[in-house]
A and B are shown apart, each in its own frame.
Chain A
C-alpha cells in the first residue's frame, strides 16, 4: 500500500510516493534520492520494491522525482542542481510531516548519492546516508554522459549530419541548461568528504568501484549494472543482492 501525491510550492510541484510503515508505528523515515536519466528509468521498479520491503520492516519511505524528471513538473532544461537540492530538503520535510518520524535516513543512488550528500546540511534530522554506486563527482558524471552521447552517435548510422550537429550539445540524449552544467561541474568529491564518515555507508555492485573518501564502510554486492553503457539503457532491472544489502544498511539500528 502506498499513497501518491504532489507536494511543494505551486511553481515546483514534486511527485511523491509515500509508503507508510507496516503496523502503524515506525520512527524512521527513509527518503530515496533517485538517480538521473537512464539510471532513473532502469531503477524505478527496484526502488519501489525496496520501498515496499523497508515499509514491511517498519520504516516509513518516501520516493520522489526531482523537478524536471519523472512525473514532477518542470523541464530538464529549466532546472539546476540547486533546485534538486531544494527538492531533497522539501521531500525530507514532507516525509517527516506525513510520517511523524524524527529520524531520517537518505538513500542516494548514483548521481542521487552526490545530491543527497550535498543536501545533508539542510536537515539536521538526517542520521544516515546509504549510497548505491555513487558517482565520483559532478564533472566525472558529465563526462560519462558525454561518452554516452558519443556512443549514441556511433551506433546510429542513419543519423544525418544536421542531426548530429543538432544533438552535439546533448548529454546522453538530454538537453541540459548551462546553469545545470556549471552546477554539476562544481559538485566535486567534497560533497562526500563534508559528511561525517560515521553517517556514510556505500554499497557497490563492483569491487573495482572506489569511493573518494577513505575509511567509509563499503559493501560489495556483485551485480552487472552497466551504468555507463547504452546496452541496457531502457531495460528495467531489480538487482536482488543489492537490494538486500541496502535493506540491511538502512534497517540496522
Chain B
C-alpha cells in the first residue's frame, strides 16, 4: 500500500515545532527536470491538511509521481497546528508562511513554488503570491471573483432553464412526501463567511505570476454560483494583460465545493496533472 516512487515525511517545524505538515517527495529525485516548483497546499477552511475528501493527499501523491515535491500544511489553528494567540488570521498566515519557507529551504534547495488550496486555501495563496518572488504558480479551487456585466442575466437563464429543477419540483409536488428531514437551504453568500482578498489583491497576484512567467489554474464549482457563472468570467473581471496565455479557468457547476463525489475528484486530479505538466514542458523545452 505504500508507494515505491514517493516518500512522505511528517514535519514539525517553526517555533517550538508548532506547525505540522507532510512533505511528499519523489523518491527518485534524479528523474526530476531541473527547477520544478514545489507545491504548498493550504488548509481548506478548518479542515486539516488532508483536504476535503483527501483531496490534497491525492494531489500531493499524483504530483510526486510526476516529479514534483509538495508540502500539505496545517496552518496555525487548523489540524495538528495550535493557533497563534493574539494574531489575526492574515498576520498568523503570514507568520506561518515564513516558517514554511524556512523549513522548505532547510530540506530542499531554494526554488520556485506553487501555492494552492480550496476556498480559504485559495484566498491565502492569492494574498501571499505578490510578496514572494519564488511563487510561479497558483492552484485555485473556488477562489474569489466579482460578478461581471452579464452575470445577472446568465444567473436568471441558468436558474430557469435547468430542467432538473422542474423535475425536482414536480417530485416534491406529486410524489408522496418523504419522511426524511428536508435540508432547508438558506441563500447564504458564500464569500460573506470568508476572509477574502480584495479585487486589487487578486489582480496583483495574477500580474505577479504573469511577470514571473508562471501559470494559474482556477476551478469554480457550483459553490461559486452566487458570484460566478461562466468560464472566462474571472479573466474578464481582472482584465489582466495576456490572461489567456498563462491562465486556465474552468467552470464545473456540476461539482460540489468539496468534490464530494469520487468521479469529480478523479476528474480534478486529471486536470491538475495536465496543468502541472506544463511546468515540466516549459523547463525541458518540449511542447508535448
Contact = CB atoms under 8 A, between A and B. Distances in A.
A69 B54 contact: yes
Interface stretch (A10-18, A194-202, A205-213, A245-253): A10-18
Interface string B254-282: 10111011110000000000000000000
B20 A4 contact: yes
Q: Is the interface of B mostly helix, strand, loop or mixed?
A: loop
A56 interface: no
Interface in B47-66: 47-50, 52-54, 57
Interface string B192-211: 00000000000000000000
Interface stretch (A70-78, A101-109, A112-120, A216-224): A70-78
Contact of A174 (B10, B180, B262): B262
Nearest to A67: B1
Contact of B10 (A6, A38, A156): A6
A158 B254 contact: yes
A83 B2 CA distance: 13
Contacts of B10: 4-6, 15, 71
A71 B262 contact: no
Given A4-B20, A13-B1, A44 B79 contact: yes
Contact of A71 (B12, B49, B260, B261): B49
Contacts, number: 116
Interface in B88-128: none
Contacts of A83: 1
Given A45-B46, A160-B254, A231-B183, A73 B263 contact: no
A44 to B, nearest CB: 5
B14 interface: no
Contacts of A231: 183
A238 to B, nearest CB: 10
Contacts of A160: 254
B162 A170 contact: no
Given A12-B2, A79-B1, A45 B48 contact: yes
Nearest to B252: A158
Contacts of A175: 262
Contacts of A4: 10, 12, 20, 80
A158 B47 contact: no
Contacts of B288: none
Nearest to A77: B262
A148 B247 CA distance: 36
B250 interface: no
A163 interface: yes
Interface in B239-257: 253-254, 256-257
Among B2, B8, B12, B257, find the residue whose CB has the most chain A CB atoms closer than 10 A: B2
A24 to B, nearest CB: 19
Contacts of B187: none
A152 B261 contact: yes
Contacts of A166: 263
A173 B261 contact: yes
Given A5-B10, A157-B168, A175-B262, A71 B57 contact: yes
Given A4-B12, A79-B1, A234-B258, A163 B49 contact: no
Interface string A160-181: 1001001100100111000000
Interface string A50-70: 000000000000000001111
B1 A73 contact: yes
A229 B52 CA distance: 17
A146 interface: no
Contacts of A72: 1
A69 B54 CA distance: 8
B254 A159 contact: yes
Interface in B108-160: none
B212 interface: no
A170 B262 CA distance: 7
Task: State the 3 A-B residue pairs at the shortest beta-carbon distance, nearest first.
Answer: A74-B1, A4-B10, A157-B164
Interface of B: 1-3, 8, 10, 12, 17, 20, 22, 45-50, 52-54, 57, 78-80, 162, 164-165, 168, 180-181, 183, 222, 253-254, 256-258, 260-263
29 contacts: A1-B17, A2-B80, A4-B10, A4-B12, A6-B10, A11-B1, A44-B79, A45-B78, A45-B79, A48-B79, A48-B80, A71-B8, A71-B22, A73-B8, A74-B1, A83-B1, A152-B256, A154-B168, A156-B254, A157-B165, A158-B222, A158-B254, A170-B261, A230-B183, A231-B183, A233-B260, A234-B45, A234-B260, A235-B46
Interface of A: 1-6, 10-13, 15, 17, 38, 41, 44-45, 48, 67-75, 78-79, 83, 151-152, 154-160, 163, 166-167, 170, 173-175, 229-231, 233-236
Given A45-B78, A71-B8, A157-B164, 4 more contacts: A75-B1, A78-B1, A173-B53, A230-B260
